[in-house]
Amino acid sequence: MTKKKREIFVSVDVEASGPIPGEYSLLSIGACHVDWPDQTFSCELKPITLKADPKALEISGFSLETLARTGRDPKAGMESFAAWLDGLRNADESLVFVGFNAPFDWSFINYYFHKFSGSNPFGFAGLDIKAYYMGLTGCAWGDTRSSVMDAALKPTRKSDHTALHDAQYQAELFRLIRERAAEKSVGRG
């Protein structure tokens, strides 16, 4: 029988210059260990294209011109991120990507890992906090917005479109949802 690997949950948030990787750039990565949110990684990256959705730049507050001068080379940034992730786990542990609207954030992380370092340490999937909340509560998809979750879960952190802060906020949401799931599980037993 195969021994089940212990899972290390990592909250990841990104800021990007548009809706899809490749045509638009990953600008900032923030990540933290879900259970120890002070264990963090963050970096800002040089854009790989000057194509941008003005609304995305307005939300993030980034300038492509500034990041072209001050950001890290994407290859070096992804290698640093991979090294940080490797430091979180032992050989018998697996990493689980956790995101709020994980398909968006994971698509950029996956693309950049494959383009600049050859493989994605998270594998081919991510855990979406919105879907997890919907499954636990039975709510409508529209009620998985962060404002609705904030009202129900009462996290101490808030989102501010800074990738690291948002990763830590998401980690708190995930822990609060996981606690509710555990309470429901105990209530059934």
Residues 6+ apart with CB under 8 A from 7: 93, 94, 95, 96
* Helix then strand then coil, % of the chain, to nearest 5: 50, 20, 30
- Let me know if 33 is a catalytic residue: no
Q: Of how many residues is the chain composed?
A: 189
Give me the sheet containing 126-128, strands edge to edge. Answer: 40-44, 26-33, 6-16, 93-99, 126-128
Name the active-site residue from 33, 114, 161, 165: 161
**Among all residues, which ones are annotated catalytic?**
161
